Amino acid sequence: MVQKKYVYAFGDKNTEGTAEMKNLLGGKGANLGEMASLGIQVPPGFTISTEACIYYFQNKNTFPSKLWDEILTRLKDLEKVLGKKFGNASDPLLVSVRSGARVSMPGMMDTVLNLGLNDLTVRGLAKSTKNEWFALDSYRRFISMFGNVVLGISAERFEAILTKKKLKRKIEFDTEFTIQELKGLIRQFKALVARVTGEEFLEDPIQQLRTAVEAVFNSWNTERARTYRRLNDIPHNWGTAVTVQSMVFGNMGDTSATGVAFTRNPATGEKKFYGEYMLNAQGEDVVAGIRTPNSIELLEQDMPEVYQDLVKVYQKLENHYKDMQDLEFTIENQKLFLLQTRSGKRTASSAIKVAIDMVNEGLISKREALMRVPANQLDQIFHPMISPKAKIKLLGKGLGASPGAAVGKVVFTPERAQEMAEKKEKVILVRMETSPEDIHGMSVSQGILTAKGGMTSHAAVVARAMGKPCVSGVSTLDVNVKRKKCMLNGFQLKEMDSITIDGTTGKLIEGAVPLIQSRLTSNFTRMMTWAGEVRALQIRANADTPHDALMARDFGAQGIGLCRTEHMFFDEERIFLVRKMIVAEDGKVRDEALKKLLPIQRGDFIEIFKVMDGLPVTLRLLDPPLHEFLPNSPAEIKNLAKEMKTSPISLRKKIETIKEVNPMLGHRGCRLGITFPDIYRMQVRAIVEAACRQVKKGVKVFPEIMVPLVADVNEFKIVRELIVEVAEDAITKSGVDLNYKIGTMIELPRAAMTAGDIAKEADFFSFGTNDLTQTAFGLSRDDSGSFLNEYLDKGLLTRDPFVSLDQQGVGQLISIAAEKGKKVKPNIHLGVCGEHGGDPASINFFNTLGLDYVSCSPYRVPTAILAAAQAVIQEDS
Amino acid sequence: MVQKKYVYAFGDKNTEGTAEMKNLLGGKGANLGEMASLGIQVPPGFTISTEACIYYFQNKNTFPSKLWDEILTRLKDLEKVLGKKFGNASDPLLVSVRSGARVSMPGMMDTVLNLGLNDLTVRGLAKSTKNEWFALDSYRRFISMFGNVVLGISAERFEAILTKKKLKRKIEFDTEFTIQELKGLIRQFKALVARVTGEEFLEDPIQQLRTAVEAVFNSWNTERARTYRRLNDIPHNWGTAVTVQSMVFGNMGDTSATGVAFTRNPATGEKKFYGEYMLNAQGEDVVAGIRTPNSIELLEQDMPEVYQDLVKVYQKLENHYKDMQDLEFTIENQKLFLLQTRSGKRTASSAIKVAIDMVNEGLISKREALMRVPANQLDQIFHPMISPKAKIKLLGKGLGASPGAAVGKVVFTPERAQEMAEKKEKVILVRMETSPEDIHGMSVSQGILTAKGGMTSHAAVVARAMGKPCVSGVSTLDVNVKRKKCMLNGFQLKEMDSITIDGTTGKLIEGAVPLIQSRLTSNFTRMMTWAGEVRALQIRANADTPHDALMARDFGAQGIGLCRTEHMFFDEERIFLVRKMIVAEDGKVRDEALKKLLPIQRGDFIEIFKVMDGLPVTLRLLDPPLHEFLPNSPAEIKNLAKEMKTSPISLRKKIETIKEVNPMLGHRGCRLGITFPDIYRMQVRAIVEAACRQVKKGVKVFPEIMVPLVADVNEFKIVRELIVEVAEDAITKSGVDLNYKIGTMIELPRAAMTAGDIAKEADFFSFGTNDLTQTAFGLSRDDSGSFLNEYLDKGLLTRDPFVSLDQQGVGQLISIAAEKGKKVKPNIHLGVCGEHGGDPASINFFNTLGLDYVSCSPYRVPTAILAAAQAVIQEDS
């Protein structure tokens, strides 16, 4: 058997890595190999693979048996190449040790520079470079970096020693220390390490190296790193690579420097070299912001030749990678070394500009350009978003229930929200959950934050309809309305404290953070046109109001895939009628309420059909359990009782009987249509009458009536009969010609398993992936907060299955159902209307299954269009 | 195309039906054909098939186009055979019209005799029979029967006219009326019909016939009939046949008679001809109980030759059908006619005796004998049951949560139950739901009735453990403890009103109904032995206590398939510790509670392992959501708060945070084991320590530790690691050798879809069909009460999927999972531990899938053994 290889060299003739090997060598290691192969000067070194890291964690934090030998062999090779020796007293080899995962990941151990220094080698360095000041400066840097990132001693404690000394000496910059002072600093730093760790500072360079490599591995599993991965959907089982690289020094005086640069502007996409550098400095100085770095253009004056080299390198890299690059470089005595190159992070709008420019420059094809824009971030363009430059303190996370970011002062009641709004204060309404009585407060707030409720909770639905950011389902939030405060993940927020919420990501951030707003550009339109030409899937939108429908259409939606007819019930003036209908003991009272609701619903549909002229509109009949519409507060109950001419006590009792142990699995969906057929009759009549009126006006109307929560074909048959009966009657009375379809949601596992039978009766299937996920996993979205994060942190699940479709389980149900359905009815129309319809990874999967369309929220339509195009490109490649 | 045939003749040479054609001709029609073919005298006639009935309902209550012509043709044939004419004024043909489904079904239209009579034909009948009294008697009977069963006029109204006349005349029997009085009765009956229906009595015989046939069809869909079918799991789509048969008359004087008989005693199985008859009477008189009929033996004296004929016929029929028969006959002028034969209904113990006797008599084989005992009714034998002779008034129905019937007086609090019990009153405890605080009241009650909760609710679990009947989940029950009364399905029950509950069927019955108790017989043991030899499936029991385990073993269980470790938590002295463990904010408090629970749980397991010496015991780790264990009442909360040294308010808040929107889909099962691993550690330690102690004592212990609610293999892996770690530690410490298995429930659709991955890690699968049904259907058992009955009534579902497995949907998931599991691990052990493990139809399905075992409640073990044998026999045949 061939021994597994864990260490890969770069920078010499014997470069082993390439850019393709990111999964094995991390982004950093892979690109160092690639640059070396391109003939770009990189300090030689080697990379320990991610497989070694994975082995380390799977085997109780031990190295693979031959790993250490391999590292030592590579170190020897490095010594040979550079003619220096690690730990040598006269001309020591120094290295940096850096982590590097497949994707760049803040929160992990970053870098230890100058490793290999100790009391002995520092003298050798001074001698060989003839620069004692530089050697001592490097040593004190090493002790503090190693102390901080490897030994876990707070950086502030080293900083405090430095600052004290500067104050005493009345100097501003580190570069002003004398040699004696540097020696003193080194003593003080080592004493600090000994005090905190109880052991002397590690002098053995070989031990320093081993400890640093282990520290990089361990940094993969810190709380911070796990949290970052969870928030960014990075699997925990990837592991990190470790790059050990020979040092070059930007701190050897004013002929040396260090810097970072982008080949184009990452914020705007403008084609202009962009970056900054610092003379006589090491990498950490640029990031730490101790001195202000210079803009990269100034380098042309400081070191014209080096600048020309740098320009050549960046152009070479961009031409080679055919993408905007983010570079790190060091200049040692006028000689340029590249330390890193990677694809540069950028905003969605800059991604679009760069991609289109590169097509124009002939660098990439249209299809490549489409792959360059991160579909998932596309809706940034339409919402205020948190400035990427902002420093934020995360207070917690909930469901991103209505997209966009908002800043405001915390209020806990709708009344207070109104008061404040009248005083022109921007407020965020924070509630345990919202109810229709809160709507006036919601409408004047910048955003809404709730402890309970999922993506289809009252707060979420209303916020989306209002176009306001909303974060819901924050299980760690506990609101105390009386005391005007709340606890959030252990933090206390009082009324009028500022907060920032991000309804796109679900993040909650302390204080008022700067927001930015991008604008739609001709570039965006162009990118969407290209995507539209490539994709196979049609894209529809989930829209419950004419406003949403119009927005969806503007964004390119080819129809409405889900109009939740009951969302219209939540309107303040209607909810009363709805409640009367529900609690009516008496058929007459119910009939009256239904009669009054009919014209209201019809009015809604008339508007939606008008907006969607020429495009299909899928209308789902009443779905949620009835108690969702009922009042909770004593005042509301009293009100309703009065209207119903009954006592609050008996009304409360009635409401109690309607409540359910597991409402998600209760009396809802078509079960309501079967037991209370009059409600469905009213809805169908409203739909068909609205459609007929528009047909008369020349509008092209294609209603698709959808039956929710079907478990058995018999349910669908009964409801279908009811629909046909009412619809035919309405059509006959109107005297126009109307084509309509009747289909069903496939959102229960049993429906998926019996999809063949159902397909015989249904014109279309729409996969309700939210409920299908809930039932397949036996997992209530509303309740999952108490353990799902722990599952993600522990790597039990790689992604939240409510955000990105679980292809293995839920996806298999969809695949089985689609196959059974098509077998019976080859031209059956298949779509998706769950939240997953707007998730690029899920869209890719749906494309593979050959579905006809996905439907998503209006703001996600461009994302879905782009993702659908990317899916086709991926499939073809 | 051949025209479909809807009408089948019998009784003449041209008999078209046979006993095999029950589905088409109903039991009655098929057996009339069979008897005619056997040469037994039956009055000729014809049967309209069930297909005609099905057509009728599928086509808005219209006949198939040729049906009426076919009927008229058959009527002509009949006229030819008998030499009489329908509607003829001098010698009219008269017929009976009777319904007849595949199985006999009370609640449907029964019989109209003497059809064809009117003012004209009655005179012809008088003339041709030379018996005017008989003709008039037949006519008045016809008008009242037609009026009642076809026109829907209450029988009491006709009866009232008769009674009034008898009183006036001071006579006792109908037979004492004079001809003039009969004529008067006929006038009065016809006037009643005209008054109620607004139309004259239908004189046209052809119209009478058509109306009667339609009435039979319609009677299939009356409320009563639908309810009966639902309660007895008869599909609504079978339809009924209609038998039109020429009349023979038992009311032609004392040379005529009518009677019913069984070929053996239906209550005991004794081999003795058994029945009764009545001279000068028509069929309805025997049933109506107006005169007391004679025991069948007396017929030998009344009409010795006819009696001999009857004996020959009954022996011929029993030998032919090889089963106990239930006969109807009429004697017309000393001539015997058979009107019906069918397999006789019998109790479970009589079924066993008849079957074993018939094997001894060489009539049937052992395998046939096994098929003769209705497995579903077998547990009747072990429980008090409602006497089949009792007249009952059904008040409602719930879940049969703990088997057996009980009679007692209603009480609404455990305290009142104790008071009454001390006074030697038998009581039934009626509660909205029970909690651990009610246990003292439950233990002194005859039975328990609750409004809320399913088969695994507190009431159900505790009642089964106590061996007490329990009906739970009666959604129409509303208890008002303060006012000491409850409403049940519209009936009011006050404290101390008598009630009878049947925990086997879930029925609730007014008043105190007589109960009977069968005894185990050597016949029963023999039948079980035969079944044991034939079946392929192993039978285990669901048992949570040593008591249950012992009972299960006595009944023949081959192991415990489900020991719900948490059911032991409900014990009054333990619940406090459990609650402390759950609400503990502080790890130390939780640890202490767990430490105290460990020896208690271990003690339970020690006893169970001892009882099950040599047999496997499957122990499921904690499954239900934690809030199920928490207190609800202010007093209990106060108590617990005091103990926990916290305030009731903050404790209530803590309890609130643990409550879930959809607990069924919430933080439960292995999710608890992953987030609170210490609870699972305690349980595993208790299991393994208990097992090791018993091994030391020489007991053979085979523990199988089962992980609930696994959705993903990663969950199982984590919990498996935890189990192995704790178990190995405990085994090492004990110094003995212990083999144990670790397996998983497959009770979520996602687990079924990914069963291949899970099988790689698991030693066994146990299908949790209850939860799998809930999740596949998206149907909470606790909430389904509000619509599931309506679904069953409307024929949307043929059977309650929580009682009999839905093979099409849920069964498909099981089948897929079993296949995937076996593909990865061919010898993986597969069982079922849901309620369906005790349902014969489901067992038949599990046998087909080739599973290894089913597990059911102890009392259902014999049922399961027999059903497993029957499954094999059915599969072979």
Q: What confidence tens digit (pLDDT) does each residue in A642-651 have?
A: 888 889 988 8
Give the pLDDT mean for B598-626.
95
pLDDT of B341 > 70? The answer is: yes
Residue A371 touches chain B, beta carbons under 8 Å: no
- pLDDT score of A417 more than 70: yes
Residue A752: per-residue pLDDT: 98
* CA atoms of A857 and B478, how far apart (whole Å): 44
| Rounded mean pLDDT, A85-98 | 94
Best residue in B237, B661, B670 for a mutation probing chain A (most A CBs within 10 Å): B661
% of chain B surpassing 70 pLDDT: 97
Alpha helices in B382-485 (DSSP H): 414-422, 439-443, 458-466
Interchain CB contact of B786 with A (< 8 Å): yes
Nearest CB partner across the interface for A787, out of B667, B712, B796:
B667
Q: How much of chain B is in helix, strand and coil states, percent to nearest 5? A: 50, 15, 35
> Do the Cβ atoms of B714 and A749 come within 8 Å?
no
Q: pTM for the complete prediction?
A: 0.82
Query: At B644, is the pLDDT very low, low, confident or very high (cuts 50, 70, 90)?
Result: confident
Mean pLDDT calculated for residue range A863-875 = 96
Other CB atoms within a 10 A radius of the CB of residue A25 amount to 32
pLDDT in tens, A297-325: 999 999 999 999 999 999 999 999 999 99
CA distances from A459 to A435, A447, A805 (A): 7, 10, 24
pLDDT surpasses 90 at B614 = yes
Residue A732, pLDDT score? 96
Beta-bridge partner residues of A340:
A328
Q: In 3-state terms, chain A is what percent helix, strand and coil (to 5)?
A: 50, 15, 35
* Alpha-carbon A136 to chain mean position: 44
B53 is an active site residue: no
What pLDDT band is residue A265 in, cutting at 50, 70 and 90?
A: confident
Angle, CA B310 vertex, CA B308 and CA B314 arms, to 5°:
120
Output the six-digit token pair for A250: 């930007």
**Helix ranges (DSSP H) in B701-839:** 713-734, 749-753, 755-761, 769-777, 788-793, 810-824
Predicted confidence at residue A68, as pLDDT, reads 96
Other C-beta atoms closer than 10 Å to the C-beta of A191 total 13
**Residue at A481: amino acid letter:** V
A205: distance to nearest CA of chain B, Å?
39
Q: Is the pLDDT confidence value at B499 over 90? A: yes
Question: Which of B119-123, B160-164, B355-359, B466-470 shows the lowest per-residue confidence on average (mean pLDDT)?
Answer: B466-470
A571 touches chain B (CB under 8 A): no
- Provide the 10 A C-beta neighbour count for residue B390: 13
pLDDT tens column, B540-568: 999 998 988 998 999 999 999 999 988 77
Q: Judged by CB atoms within 8 Å, which residues 145-204 of A form the interface with B?
A: none
In this model, does residue B274 exceed pLDDT 90?
Answer: no
Interface check B812 vs A, CB under 8 A? yes
Angle made by CA atoms A515, A516, A521, in degrees to the nearest 5: 160
Asked whether the predicted pLDDT for residue A823 surpasses 90, the reply is yes
Report pLDDT digits (tens) over A211-236: 999 999 998 988 778 877 876 778 88
Question: B77-116: per-residue pLDDT in tens?
Answer: 999 999 999 999 999 999 999 999 998 776 566 789 999 9
Taking contacts as CB-CB distances below 8 angstroms, the residues of chain B near A666 are 780, 783-784, 786
Shortest CA distance from A454: residue in chain B: B661
pLDDT of residue B455: 63
Distance from CA of A786 to the nearest CA of B (A): 7
Please answer yes or no on whether A709 and B778 come within 8 Å at the CB atom: yes
Chain A CB contacts of B662 under 8 Å are 662-665, 780, 782-783
The pLDDT of residue A174 is 83
Nearest CA of chain A to the CA of B676: how many Å? 10
Q: Which of A290-294, A393-397, B351-355 has the lowest mean pLDDT?
A: A290-294
Tell whether B739 is within 8 A of chain A (Cβ).
no
Establish if A661 touches chain B: CB-CB under 8 angstroms: yes
pLDDT for residue A111 = 83
Name chain A contacts of B774, Cβ cutoff 8 Å. 665
pLDDT band for position A287 (50/70/90)? low
Q: Could you tell me the end-to-end alpha-carbon distance of chain A, in angstroms, rounded to an integer? A: 34
- pLDDT at residue number B759: 98
For residues B563 and B608, the answer to whether their CB atoms sit within 8 Å is yes
Distance, C-alpha A427 to centroid of its chain: 25
**Which percentage of chain A shows pLDDT scores above 90?**
66
Q: Does residue A538 contact residue A853 with C-beta atoms inside 8 Å? A: yes
Q: Which of B711, B783, B810 sits opposite A750 (nearest CB)?
A: B810
Give buried/exposed letters for A639-649 (b at 16+ CB in 10 A, else e). bbbeebeeebe
Each residue's pLDDT tens digit, B376-425: 888 777 788 888 778 888 888 888 878 889 999 999 999 999 889 888 89
Q: Which of A331-335, A493-497, B575-579 has the lowest mean pLDDT?
A: B575-579
Digit-coded pLDDT (tens) for B785-832: 778 888 987 888 988 899 899 999 999 999 999 999 999 999 999 999
- Dihedral angle at the C-alpha atoms of B312, B313, B314, B319, nearest 10 degrees? 90
- At A402 the pLDDT is 81
Find the helix packing angle between B840-849 and B861-876, rounded to 10°: 50
Nearest-CA neighbor of B35 among B48, B52, B18? B18
* Terminal-to-terminal C-alpha distance of chain B: 34
- Cross-sheet strand order for the sheet of B294-295: B294-295, B274-279, B257-262, B325-332, B335-343
Given a cut of 90, whether residue A284 has pLDDT beyond it is: no
Q: What is the pLDDT of residues B45-88, one digit of tens each?
A: 999 999 999 999 999 999 999 999 999 999 999 999 999 999 99
Q: Respond yes or no: is residue B458 known to be catalytic.
A: yes
Chain A nearest-CA residue for B475: A657
Quick check: B290 pLDDT over 70?
no
Going by pLDDT thresholds of 50, 70 and 90, the confidence category of residue A694 is very high
Q: Is the pLDDT of residue B288 over 60?
A: no
> Considering A236, A383, A458, A567, which one is annotated as catalytic?
A458
pLDDT at B553: 94
Among B236, B383, B458, B567, which one carries the catalytic annotation?
A: B458
Residue B291 near chain A (CB below 8 Å): no
- Of A711, A782, A790, which has the smallest distance from its Cβ to B778's Cβ? A711
> Is A331 a residue whose pLDDT tops 90?
yes
What's chain A's average pLDDT? 91
Q: How confident is the prediction for chain B on average, in pLDDT?
A: 91
Catalytic residue among B236, B833, B836, B856: B833
Q: DSSP secondary-structure letter at A618?
A: E
Instruction: Give the pLDDT confidence score for residue B109 in this predicted structure.
Output: 67
Q: What DSSP assignment string belongs to B340-387?
A: EEEEPP--HHHHHHHHHHHHHTTSS-HHHHHHHS-GGGGGGGGSEEE-
pLDDT mean over B658-674: 93
pLDDT confidence of B287, banded at 50, 70, 90? low
Cβ pair B809:A711 closer than 8 A: yes
pLDDT at B189: 96
Interface residue A770 vs chain B (CB under 8 A): no
